[in-house]
Amino acid sequence: FVSACITGSAPLTAVQLLWVNMIMDTLGALALATEPPNEGLMKRPPIARTASFITKTMWRNIAGQSVYQLIVLGILNFAGKSLLKLDGPDSTAVLNTVIFNSFVFCQVFNEINSREIEKINVFKGMFNSWVFTGVMTVTVVFQVIIVEFLGAFASTVPLSCQHWLLSILIGSLSMIVAVFLKCIPVESCRHHDGYELLPSGPSSSISA
């Protein structure tokens, strides 16, 4: 959107945006919705009926990741040719494919980040869910097919190993960004719809 407003052209095509939306809305929802419940689920306090669907913690993570992607992809869009030393008649196509590839991998790694909104260790129990790992694998495989073999359909060109590694690196850095974001304290809601918190720890066993 920013690129379209400034330069009059967007680096991503309609087909590419459709694929990204499918990753985030369909495949991502399927992967996260089928995650098995963890041990701490029943220890959470009740949530008020009037509570916001998107919490302050979620807004923190969304805003932080959006800023990171906007900065990195903006740098690639406006200075990518000189940074990657691209020249020749296909330099624009290569750069746009790198931007598209990096954007997709940002969403892939963000799906892993979304497994735990507050905890830093997002890998705990990840391989216990075959649906989640399957969706991640299918997403990456289809991304390789789209970039390397469906150029006429998706407006992409085959990338070199260096450009693939760069795209994966940009996506994986979102996990480091997530760690820093989770260290930023967010005011938690203390209202639990009139319910008292369940007792836990040694004191609860003594009182029982």
pLDDT for the residue 40: 64
CB atoms within 10 A of CB 34: 13
The whole domain housing 130 covers: 2-35+55-185
CATH code, domain carrying 133: 1.20.1110.10
Cα(171)–Cα(163) distance, rounded to whole angstroms?
12
Contact (Cβ atoms closer than 8 angstroms) between residue 155 and residue 100: no
Contact (Cβ atoms closer than 8 angstroms) between residue 11 and residue 3: yes
Return per-residue pLDDT of the chain as tens, 208 residues.
Answer: 455 455 555 778 889 999 999 888 888 777 777 776 666 666 667 777 777 778 888 999 999 999 999 999 999 999 999 999 998 889 999 999 999 999 999 999 999 998 888 888 888 888 888 888 998 999 999 999 999 999 999 999 999 999 999 999 999 999 999 999 999 988 665 444 444 555 555 554 444 4
Cα(136)–Cα(128) distance, rounded to whole angstroms?
13
How far from 37 is each of 43, 132, 136, 193, CA to CA, in Å? 12, 13, 19, 23
pTM listed for this prediction = 0.80
Assess if residue 47 is contained within a domain: no
In the block, which residue shows the tokens 């919490």? 55
- Residue 22 is given by DSSP the state I
Assess if residue 200 is contained within a domain: no
Number of domains in the chain: 1
